[in-house]
Structure 1
């Protein structure tokens, strides 16, 4: 599809300090509710993910996957611990500053494409720039639309596109500001198998050819097979990882976690394991 670019195409240098990491969570805890009904969704998460990586996060239902993504992306605040994105501490950042950071330095791709039906494809792609109060760069919009194979559809509206095409628009929108991280939440959950393959291939190529960083929550072992590494959550704690491997092996590990009674082992999963290239834990 004419993908072009180099690692970190925006020329942005890593932030100072620990900015070599795209995403960092240290001792992150999140509890919902009070008293006997309280639920510990995250129980002390330690994690560091490098720039230019594709990470899948999996786990049984209720394992904390969605809470992890929300805390990592600044959509929810942890009760304890710290979160850094591109070297920037966001844990205690004001809501206004956090909103501005999400609009300029993060990209989002969701299962429900979240496109505005009254806007054209191009206008949807440019929306993060407009919301951030910066000049809408139409040349940049055309560039990312060409990268996802939709440059000829720029003036159409979402309702005129297939589901797969709408998700391509969402990916273009996520790429347009050259974000530090793209967070994807079940991005292929509403798509058929063939279209899902196309979307996952686009995300993979965004990492390999454009230097993007993708963190994807998924329940699908096939989708997770596109990632550089798969991290497993169970009962709010990390329970191991696998380097890039087959969907069958991923499914087998997930089945083991689903069958495991009680709190998961691996609550002390350390950041260094997040970029391990050896055998899975």
Structure 2
């Protein structure tokens, strides 16, 4: 069973990973996707996660969000240990307490904007507050598009629907995996502003995996991964500072790999 902590007040701990390892491959040839990652994020924060290809970014998000179970270590969201429950309990917890925004919008094409946004509430058996849902859609600039279907919207508008769908459930943590990867520059900026507003206005906690230094600059801090380990953090980032750190990190990773193969 999940060990549920007390209700999380503002600025309390939203996410905690302790010694998280994820090993793929065989016993003879193991691949450490995550190698003992520990971190704590406070509620109401916006954190970007970056690293070279193969650094473990997506694996970190999947384990932190309860989409995959770590080989070792524990994951806690809002005081609940995700690594302790059954699959049924974990699914229920994700529906109630965790939000997702992906590069692909994952909207159901036969449903309207409003129906897509309220779907998670219905799946979780929660009451749909129509006034709240409409207010969220107004906030993301889609108040006049409630009856439209995804095919009638631009990519940026579809991603805003996906963000609204997450916001109406008031999750403990929103995990965003390359949320601007399929968008043009202007739409990407609008989505990043919305995610930042979700933190500052709605008090949400956002963890975003991205490869884009400009996207990362919208976060309050950036965590850097390399070879499955946390290797640095940058607070109040600028796109230039993030790009410089990534260049040095990529060079260092390449140097290690060359030495390891020598």
TM bracket (short chain): over 0.9
TM-fit CA distance, 1:179: 0.6
Aligned to 2:227: 235
- Where does the alignment leave 5 or more consecutive residues of structure 1 unmatched? 1-11, 264-281
Distance 2:49 2:136 in 1: 26
Q: Confirm whether residue 262 of structure 1 aligns to residue 252 of structure 2.
A: no
After superposition, the C-alpha distances for 1:198-230 in whole angstroms (9 at most, x for unaligned) are: 100011111111111100000000000000000
Q: TM-score, normalised by structure 1?
A: 0.86
Q: Confirm whether residue 145 of structure 1 aligns to residue 143 of structure 2.
A: no
> Please, which of 166, 188, 206 is the counterpart of residue 174 of structure 1?
166
Aligned to 2:212: 220
Q: What's the secondary structure of 1:127's corresponding residue?
A: helix
Aligned to 1:190: 182
Q: What's the secondary structure of 2:230's corresponding residue?
A: strand
- Where does the alignment leave 5 or more consecutive residues of structure 2 unmatched? 1-5, 258-262
> Please, which of 234, 242, 248 is the counterpart of residue 240 of structure 2?
248
Distance 2:243 2:211 in 1: 9
Runs of 4+ in 1 over 6 A off after TM superposition: none
Q: What's the secondary structure of 1:29's corresponding residue?
A: strand
> Please, which of 8, 22, 26 is the counterpart of residue 14 of structure 1?
8
Q: Confirm whether residue 162 of structure 1 aligns to residue 162 of structure 2.
A: no
TM-fit CA distance, 1:138: 2.1
Aligned to 2:26: 34
Distance 1:28 1:34 in 2: 19
Q: TM-score, normalised by structure 2?
A: 0.92
Aligned to 1:199: 191
Q: What's the secondary structure of 1:203's corresponding residue?
A: helix
Equivalent pairs, count: 249
Distance 1:257 1:227 in 2: 19
Distance 1:104 1:138 in 2: 18
Q: What's the secondary structure of 1:52's corresponding residue?
A: coil
Distance 1:246 1:14 in 2: 30
Aligned to 2:41: 49
Cα contact 1:20–1:87 (8 A) shared by 2: no
Q: Confirm whether residue 67 of structure 1 aligns to residue 67 of structure 2.
A: no
Cα contact 1:26–1:45 (8 A) shared by 2: yes
